[in-house]
Amino acid sequence: MEAKSPKSRNAISHYIRMAFIRLGVLPFLLVAAIIIFTALSDNFLTGRNLLNVVRQSTYLALVAVGQMFALLTGGFDLSVGTILAITSVVGALAMATAYSFMPDALFLAIAIGIIAGVLAGTMIGVVNGIGVAVFDVSPFMMTLGMASVGFGIALYLTGGIPVYGMPIEFGDIFGFGTFLGLPVPVLVAFLLILGMYIVVDRTRLGRHFYAVGGNIKAAHLSGINTNRTLFLAYVLSGFMAAISGILLTARLDSGEANIGASMPLESIAACVIAGVSLRGGIGKVENVVLGALFIGIVQNGMNLARIESYLQIVVIGLLLIFAVIVDRFRIKLVASCQD
Amino acid sequence: MTVLDCKKLREVSFEMGPSLLELKGISKSFSGALVLDEVDFSVDSGEVHVLFGENGAGKSTLISIIAGALSPDKGVFNFKNNQIDIYSVHHARSLGISAVFQEFSLVPQMTVEENLFLGSEISRFGLLNKQEAHNQAKDILDRLGFDLKPNQRIDFLSRAEQQMVEIAKAFRDDVSVLILDEPTASLTEKETEQLFDLINLVKQDGVGIIYITHRISEIRRIGDRITVLRDGKKVGTAAADVPEKELVRMMTGKVFDQIFPKIDFKPGRNVLEINNLATQNGAVQDLSLSVNKGEIVGIAGLVGSGKSDIGRACFGLLDIASGQIRFDGMDISGNSPSQMLDLGLYYIPSDRRDEGLIMSRPSRESVSMSALSSPDFSKGLFIRLEQEKKKVNDLAGKMNLQPHNIEKAPSMFSGGNQQKIMLAKCLTRKVRLFVFDEPTVGVDVGTRIAIYEFIAELSMNGAAILVISSDLTEILHLPKRVYVMCRGHLSAELSGEALNQETVLEHCFGHEAA
C-alpha cells in the first residue's frame, strides 16, 4: 500500500515525460495560457472572444506556415514583414487606381488589386529564392537584404502615407465579411493552409522540403533537385505572406507600409514554439497553426488582463527564447531515452 | 596468434630507456561497440613508436585518449612513473603531451602566430602582447626550420604549410610526448625530409614520439618500435625492422574465408568504361577502367589515393577535366546525379551520416528518397503513402533491419543497421551499375556478412558492381578483379593469382617500399 502512491506518481510523471517528448512544449503552453487567462479575466473563455482570437491569429498563421517552408529547408525568411507591406501598398494602389478609372467595374478593380498585390509580394519571395538557390547567398543575408529593399520600395511608393481610395466592398467582404457564419479571412486562411498541409504531407515537393532540410547532400545524391526545392520554399513563403498582407489590407481598409513589422519575429516564434527545428527537416503544418494560435491567445489574454502593449512585446520575445531552451532540453531528453 | 613471443617483446622494451608513457589495459566503446579492447602501449624517451593498422583498427581512438580528447572506459595511465588521469587536451598539453591530428585545429581566418598561441595567448596587463607573440612564433618556426611568415593567414597557406603550423603548435610548450597522425600524408618529399630531420632532432632531446603512418617505408626510415592494432586489439609490438610480410600479416590477420560468399561470376557485356579520366580537383589522373555486367570489380588504395574520387566522378559529383565515362556505350561525363539515377547508375557513399541518410526523419523517408518519382511511390504530384510504407517495410524485412521499425529515425539505429537502410535505399530503383564506396565501414561482422551476401546477390542477378574499399580483406575476397590506385594514378590491375596481399599492398604504396 505504501509503495503505491509514489508508483502511480511515477507513472504520471512518466506519461508527462513521454507526452513532452512526443508533442513538445506547445500543448503544455496552450493549457497553461488558457488556465492563466481564464483566471485573470472573465471574458476570456467565451465563444465570442475565442472566435476573435482565431480571427486575429489568421494573419500570423498564414505567414507562419509560409515561414515553415523556409525553416524546413534549413533557412529562414526575415523578409515576411516586408512582403506584407509591399503587398498591402501595391495592392491598395492598384485597386484604388483601377477603381478611380472605372468606378462601375467594382469587382474587376478588386480583383486587379488583389492580383497585383499578391504578385508583388510573391516577387520578393522569388528574388529570395533565386538568391538562396542559385547564387548560394545565406538565407539570413538574402532575406534581410530583401527586407530592406522591399520596405524601402513600399515607403517610396506611398511617401510613408497610408493609401486610401479602395472600394468599400473590398473591406466589407475580405476584412469583415462572413460566410456560413465564419469570418471570410478565417475561411480563406483555412482553405489555403489545408492546401499547404496537403502539399507538405502528401506531395513529392513536401517530401523534398524535408529531405533538403534534413540532409541536403543525401537529397542531392538521391536525385532531388535541391536548387528547385530551395527556390520554391521561398516562393511559397512569399506567397503565404502576400495573402496575409492582402487580407490585412482589407481589414484595415488602407494600404500601409508598416503593417508587417512584427511578423518576422512572431512567425519564427510560432514555428519554433510549434517544434519546427531551426536546423531544418522537422516541423508540421498543423502544429505551426497551433503555434500561431498560441501567440494570438497570449496577446488577446494580455489585452483582456490590461497588460500594457509595450510589455506584451517583451513577453513574446521571452516566450520565443523560453521555447528554444525547452526544445534543447527535449532533445537531450530524447537522447537520454535512447540509451 | 601474436607473432612475437613475450620474451622477445620484453627484450625490445628493456633495450630502451625508461618508459616515458605507459598505458595498460585501455578499453573504450562508443554506443555499445568496443573500439579498443584492453590495449597496452608504451613510449620511451627518445624513441619513435609507430602505430600501425587498418582503418578502423582503433589507432585514432588510442591517440585521442593519449591526447586527452577522449577518456578511456577502463585502463591505467602511467606518465613519468606516476599514475595519472588526463582530463582534457589542455591538461595533456600542460603535462607535455601534444598531438598533431590529421584534422587540423587551425582557425583559417587567423594568422600563423595567432593560431600558434590560440588558447594561451601572451598578454601583459590584460592586453595582448602581439610583439612578444610575434617574436616567439618566429623563434619556434626558425627552430623547426619552417619557411613560414608568422603574419600569414592560414587560409592562404597550402595544406603542407598548414600541417607545418599544426606541428609548430605542438612545439609551443615543452613537449615530452609528441603524437603525429599521418603527418606526411600531405607533404612533398622535400617537406617530408625536413620533418624527418626535425623528428631526429627532437628525439635527441628525449622526446617520445608516437607516429601513425600507412607507409611501410617510413616505418623503416624513422621508426624504432612498431605496435600493430587490429579490430581494437593489440596484435603485437616489434622492432621496426620486422619483415614486411610479417607486418602485413599482423595488420590484416587471418583470412576470413567463411565471411565471403562464393560467387559465380558470369561477366557479360561491358557496362561502365572510363577512358583517360582526369578530375578537375587533380585527385584522379589518366585513369582507364572497365566493369562488365555480372561482375564485381574492386578499387583498392590508401586514403587520398583518389579511389573515392573515381566513384564520385562516375556519379557526376566531381567535375571532369578530361577523359570520358561511358555507360552502356553512352557518354555520361558531366551528368547530374538525378540523370545518373535515371540511367540506372547508383552510388552508395561511404559517409552515411553526411551524405546518405536523413538522420532526423523517419528511416522510411531515407529509403524512398531517391525513388519518389517512380510510380511505385507516387502518382502525379502525390506520394502514395500506404504503398510507400508497404514497399519500405518489405525492403526492411529483406535487409533484416533490427529493430524492424521504419518510422524510427536512422540516428536511433546502430551503424550496421544504418548501412542496411542505405542498402534498402538502393533496391528502390532499377539499377544496372552499383558503385559502393566503403560498403562495410564501421559495421560489425554480422552485418558485414549480410552486406557481402547482398552484393553477391546483386551481381548474380546481373548487375555490374564497383566496390571501392580500404579494407584489404574485402578487396582480396569479394571482387574478382581489382584496380589499385596510388597517388591519383592507376598502379595495377590484378586478378587471379596476382590478387594477393603482398601485391596489392606493394602497389598501394607505390614502389617506395622496395
Which pLDDT score is estimated for B264?
76
Answer for the pair B476, B207: CB distance below 8 angstroms, yes or no. Answer: no
Which residue out of A71, A216, A220, A222 would a mutagenesis test of the B interface target, given it has the greatest number of B Cβ atoms within 10 Å? A222
- ipTM value: 0.81
Which pLDDT score is estimated for A5?
56
Which pLDDT score is estimated for B252?
62
Of the candidates B360, B381, B425, the beta carbon closest to that of A203 is on B381
10-residue stretch averages of pLDDT, chain B, 514 residues long: 39 53 88 81 91 76 88 88 84 87 78 84 80 89 83 82 83 86 74 82 88 80 88 85 74 58 81 92 90 93 85 90 91 89 92 89 93 88 92 92 88 84 91 92 74 91 91 86 91 89 82 46
Which pLDDT score is estimated for B5?
41
Interatomic CA distance for residues A291 and A232, integer angstroms: 23
Of the candidates A208, A214, A217, the beta carbon closest to that of B361 is on A214
Residues of B in contact with A208 (CB under 8 A): 372
Cβ-Cβ pairs closer than 8 A, A with B, add up to 80
Which pLDDT score is estimated for A335?
67
Is the C-alpha dihedral spanning B238, B240, B243, B248 positive or negative? positive
Q: Closest by alpha carbon to B336, among A204, A135, A73, A221? A: A221
Q: Do A221 and B361 touch (CB under 8 A)?
A: no
CB atoms within 10 A of CB B372: 22
* B510: Cβ contacts below 8 Å, ≥ 6 apart: B486, B487, B491
Which pLDDT score is estimated for B172?
81
Interatomic CA distance for residues B377 and B389, integer angstroms: 9
- The single-letter code of the amino acid at B299 is I
Interatomic CA distance for residues B395 and A135, integer angstroms: 39
Interatomic CA distance for residues A59 and B200, integer angstroms: 72
Interatomic CA distance for residues A268 and A270, integer angstroms: 5
Residues of A in contact with B361 (CB under 8 A): 210-211, 214, 281-282
Of the candidates A203, A218, A220, the beta carbon closest to that of B358 is on A218
Name the DSSP letter for residue B497: G
Grid cell, residue B461, equals: 542477378
Answer for the pair B45, B20: CB distance below 8 angstroms, yes or no. Answer: yes
Q: Say how many Å lie between the first and final Cα of chain A, rounded.
A: 32
Longest dimension (CA), chain A: 85
Q: Say how many Å lie between the first and final Cα of chain B, rounded.
A: 27
Which pLDDT score is estimated for B8?
42
Show the CA angle centred on residue A74, arms to residues A72 and A78, nearest 5°.
90
Which pLDDT score is estimated for A185?
95
Of the candidates B338, B355, B378, the beta carbon closest to that of A223 is on B338
Residues of A in contact with B372 (CB under 8 A): 204, 207-208, 224
Distance of CA A71 to the CA centre of its chain: 11
Distance between B381 CA and the closest CA of chain A, angstroms: 5
Low-confidence ranges of chain A (pLDDT < 70): 1-7, 335-339
For residue range A267-324, list pLDDT tens digits in order: 999 999 998 988 899 899 999 999 999 999 999 999 998 888 889 889 888 988 988 8
Q: What is the helix (H) or strand (E) element at residue B65, kind and residue range?
A: helix B59-66
Residue with cell 618529399: B189
Which pLDDT score is estimated for B35?
82
Interatomic CA distance for residues B253 and B235, integer angstroms: 9
Distance between A194 CA and the closest CA of chain B, angstroms: 15
Distance between B478 CA and the closest CA of chain A, angstroms: 25
Q: Do A221 and B347 touch (CB under 8 A)?
A: yes
For residue range A31-58, list pLDDT tens digits in order: 999 999 999 988 898 989 999 999 999 9
Distance between B296 CA and the closest CA of chain A, angstroms: 22
> Please, where are the H alpha helices in chain A?
4-23, 26-40, 47-72, 80-101, 106-129, 139-158, 168-170, 184-202, 204-214, 216-221, 226-252, 263-273, 285-304, 309-338
Answer for the pair B212, B181: CB distance below 8 angstroms, yes or no. Answer: yes
Residues of A in contact with B338 (CB under 8 A): 223-225
Q: Do A222 and B369 touch (CB under 8 A)?
A: yes
- The single-letter code of the amino acid at B189 is E
Of the candidates A207, A282, A338, the beta carbon closest to that of B383 is on A207
Of the candidates A202, A224, A277, the beta carbon closest to that of B369 is on A224
